[in-house]
């Protein structure tokens, strides 16, 4: 598994930033934020992005989104009770899927990156993006800030 590229460690590469509290429950016996807590924090950013594109609570019953794959690179330790910033944007957009790329910052350090693939499903098959959805996803692409 290759290390994340440099632009992925720069908060300004991501269009969406959520400041999120850490919780005592996120700590593990080492006194650091647990790996699974990182996963929950990234999920929060992912769900918020998806909510902005389309509220899952307004969706027809036969439509849903599925997480296909999630990769988290752990780059540094996280501490309690300092807040973290979950930075989120889209990556490659497929016919009925999209990539979400993220990074987690605490006290100015990037402590993890996350790459996910989400698939839109309708019944038992894929749910191809409408032009509106595709455009909304493209508008929040993560990319080197320069």
- Whether 113 contacts 63, CB under 8 Å: no
| Nearest to its own copies of 71, 130 (CB atom) | 71
Count of residues that interact with its own copies, criterion CB under 8 A: 39
**How far apart are the C-alpha atoms of 54 and 135, rounded to whole Å?**
12
Residue 67 touches its own copies, criterion: CB under 8 A: yes
From 115, 85, 74, select the one nearest 97 (Cα to Cα).
115
- Cβ 128 to its own copies shortest distance, Å: 20
Residue 59 touches its own copies, criterion: CB under 8 A: no
Instruction: Sort 100 into a burial class: Cβ within 10 Å, 0-12 / 13-18 / 19+.
Output: buried
**How far apart are the C-alpha atoms of 95 and 93, rounded to whole Å?**
7
Residue 43 touches its own copies, criterion: CB under 8 A: yes
- Interface contacts to its own copies, rule CB under 8 A: 1, 18-21, 23-25, 27-31, 34-36, 39-41, 43-44, 47-48, 51, 56-57, 64, 66-74, 81, 115, 117
């Amino acid at each position: 598994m290759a290390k994340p590229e440099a632009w992925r460690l720069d908060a300004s590469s991501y269009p969406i930033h959520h400041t999120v509290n850490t919780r005592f429950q996120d700590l593990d016996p080492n006194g650091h934020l647990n790996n699974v807590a990182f996963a929950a924090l990234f999920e929060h950013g992912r769900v918020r992005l998806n909510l902005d594109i389309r509220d899952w609570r307004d969706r027809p019953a036969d439509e849903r989104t599925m997480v296909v794959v999630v990769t988290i690179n752990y780059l540094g330790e996280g501490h309690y009770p300092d807040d973290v910033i979950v930075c989120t944007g889209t990556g490659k957009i497929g016919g009925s899927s999209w990539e979400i790329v993220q990074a987690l910052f605490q006290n100015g350090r990037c402590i993890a990156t996350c790459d996910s693939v989400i698939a839109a499903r309708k019944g038992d098959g894929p749910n191809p993006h409408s032009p509106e959805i595709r455009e909304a996803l493209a508008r929040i692409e993560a990319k080197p800030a320069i």
